[in-house]
C-alpha cells in the first residue's frame, strides 16, 4: 500500500485540553478516516487565565498514561504517537514525547498579561492598543519575534507559522502584503532550521471558518522550499469530524509552492510520501 499524506494526523486536540471530543473518540474517527499514524498533541501548560483556553496540567503523567494505553489498544492497526503542542509561554519543557509542536499563541505584556493571537478580536485589539500603541503591524512583528524564539528550540514541527493572520481575513487589522509584515514573517521563517524542523500546513483556521487558506501563506511556503525545508500536513483538529480536514487543499497549496513530497511522522521516525 502506498502512503498518502492523509495517513498521518499528528496535530490534534482532545478533551484533555480544549478539544471537543475524548481521546477515544478522536482515535476512532482517525482510524475510520484511514489515518495510520495518529498523534495527540494537547496544549502544554501555560499560565494563562482559565477562561482563555484549556491546557494540560503541569503534571502530564495521566495524559501520558492514557495515550500510551491507547497505543497498546491500537497496536497492529494504527500507530498512536504521544505528542505535545508547546507554547512559547509554556512553563513546562517538551521532553519525553515522541514529538512536539512548537507554537506561538500569546504575547506577554510588561504588565504580566497574556494577549492571545487567536482568541478573539477583543484580545487582538487589547494587544494592539495596550502593548503596541495602536499599531496592528507591530502586533504581527511581536508575534513573529516569539516565533523566532520557538524556532531556536528546534521543534520537530513548527506550528501554524502565521497564526497571527487568523482574525485578519480581508486584511481587517493589517495589510498582509505590507513590506513590514512580510519582512517579519520571513525573518521568523529564516530562524527555522530546515534540517531539524518540519513546517506544518495547517487547516485549523479553515475548518473553523476563520480563513479560506491554510497556514502558512504561499510566499512563506515558497521561501521554505527554497530553504530546502520539508512540510507535514496537519488539521489541528479540535473535533472528531476534522481529523484530516482539508488535506486536499493543503496538498494543492504545497504543490503550488513547488513541493512534491510531504513528511509523515511514525513511531519509527519521519517517512516521506508523494503529495
Ligand atoms: Zn496552536
Ligand atoms: Zn493546535
Q: Does the residue 180 lie in any domain?
A: no
100 contacts 155 by C-beta, under 8 angstroms: yes
User: What cell numbers appear for 148 in the block?
Assistant: 523566532
Question: Range of 163's domain?
Answer: 5-102+155-170+197-274
Q: What is the number of domains present in the chain? A: 1
Q: Does the residue 81 lie in any domain?
A: yes
Average pLDDT over the chain reads 96
How many angstroms is it from 11 CA to the middle of ligand 1?
9
Give the pLDDT band (50/70/90) at residue 165: very high
User: What cell numbers appear for 175 in the block?
Assistant: 495589510
Q: Does the residue 190 lie in any domain?
A: no
Element (H, E) at 78: none
User: What cell numbers appear for 222 in the block?
Assistant: 515558497
How high is the pLDDT of residue 48?
86
Percentage of residues in the chain with pLDDT exceeding 70? 100
Strands 79-87, 114-116: pairing kind? unpaired
User: What cell numbers appear for 210 in the block?
Assistant: 476563520
| Ligand closest in space to the Cα of 117 | 1
How many angstroms is it from 234 CA to the middle of ligand 2?
9
How many angstroms is it from 85 CA to the middle of ligand 1?
7
How many angstroms is it from 56 CA to the middle of ligand 2?
13
How many angstroms is it from 72 CA to the middle of ligand 2?
24
How many angstroms is it from 226 CA to the middle of ligand 2?
26
What mean pLDDT comes out for the span 141-154? 98
How many angstroms is it from 160 CA to the middle of ligand 1?
7
Q: What are phi and psi of 170, to 5 degrees?
A: 70, 20
pLDDT of 220 over the 80 cut? yes
What mean pLDDT comes out for the span 214-226? 98
User: What cell numbers appear for 60 in the block?
Assistant: 502530564
How many angstroms is it from 233 CA to the middle of ligand 1?
14
Window from 24-33, 45-54, 130-139, 172-181 with minimum mean pLDDT: 45-54
How many angstroms is it from 117 CA to the middle of ligand 1?
10
Q: Does the residue 20 lie in any domain?
A: yes
Q: Does the residue 110 lie in any domain?
A: no
Q: Does the residue 16 lie in any domain?
A: yes
How many angstroms is it from 146 CA to the middle of ligand 1?
13
Q: Does the residue 116 lie in any domain?
A: no
Window from 14-28, 47-61, 138-152, 196-210 with minimum mean pLDDT: 47-61
3-state secondary structure of 141: helix
How high is the pLDDT of residue 49?
80
Dmax (CA) of the chain = 56
Cα 264 to Cα 10: distance, rounded to the nearest angstrom? 9
Cα 197 to Cα 123: distance, rounded to the nearest angstrom? 30
How many angstroms is it from 87 CA to the middle of ligand 1?
8
42 contacts 56 by C-beta, under 8 angstroms: yes
Q: Does the residue 22 lie in any domain?
A: yes
pLDDT of 213 over the 80 cut? yes
Q: What is the CATH number of the domain that holds 266?
A: 3.20.20.140
pLDDT of 242 over the 90 cut? yes
How many angstroms is it from 3 CA to the middle of ligand 1?
26
Helix axes 218-226, 179-190, angle to 10 degrees: 40
| 74-95 pLDDT, tens digit each | 999 999 999 999 999 999 999 9
| Ligand closest in space to the Cα of 166 | 1
How high is the pLDDT of residue 1?
58
Amino acid at each position: 500500500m502506498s502512503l498518502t499524506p492523509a495517513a498521518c494526523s499528528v496535530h490534534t486536540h482532545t478533551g484533555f485540553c480544549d478539544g471537543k471530543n475524548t481521546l477515544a473518540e478522536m482515535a476512532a474517527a482517525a482510524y475510520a478516516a484511514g489515518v495510520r499514524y495518529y498523534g495527540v498533541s494537547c496544549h502544554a501548560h501555560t499560565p494563562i487565565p482559565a477562561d482563555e483556553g484549556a491546557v494540560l496540567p503541569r503534571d502530564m503523567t495521566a495524559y501520558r498514561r492514557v495515550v500510551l494505553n491507547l497505543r497498546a489498544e491500537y497496536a497492529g492497526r494504527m500507530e498512536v504517537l504521544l505528542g505535545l503542542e508547546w507554547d512559547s509561554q509554556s512553563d513546562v519543557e517538551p521532553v519525553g514525547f515522541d514529538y512536539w509542536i512548537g507554537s506561538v499563541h500569546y504575547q506577554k505584556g510588561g504588565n504580566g498579561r497574556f494577549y492571545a493571537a487567536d482568541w478573539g478580536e477583543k484580545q487582538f485589539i487589547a494587544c494592539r492598543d495596550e502593548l503596541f500603541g495602536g499599531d496592528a503591524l507591530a502586533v504581527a512583528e511581536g508575534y513573529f519575534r516569539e516565533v523566532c524564539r520557538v524556532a531556536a528550540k528546534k521543534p520537530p514541527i513548527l506550528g501554524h507559522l502565521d497564526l497571527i493572520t487568523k482574525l485578519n481575513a480581508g486584511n481587517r487589522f493589517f495589510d498582509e502584503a505590507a513590506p513590514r509584515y512580510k519582512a517579519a514573517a520571513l525573518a521568523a521563517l529564516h530562524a527555522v532550521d530546515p534540517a531539524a524542523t518540519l513546517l506544518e500546513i495547517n487547516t485549523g483556521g479553515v475548518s473553523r471558518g476563520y480563513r479560506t487558506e491554510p497556514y502558512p501563506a504561499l510566499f512563506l511556503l515558497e521561501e521554505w522550499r527554497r530553504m530546502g525545508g520539508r512540510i507535514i500536513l496537519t488539521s489541528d483538529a479540535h473535533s472528531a469530524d476534522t481529523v484530516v480536514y482539508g488535506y486536499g487543499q493543503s496538498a494543492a497549496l504545497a504543490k503550488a509552492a513547488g513541493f512534491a513530497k510531504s513528511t509523515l511522522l511514525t513511531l519509527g521516525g519521519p517517512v516521506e510520501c508523494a503529495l
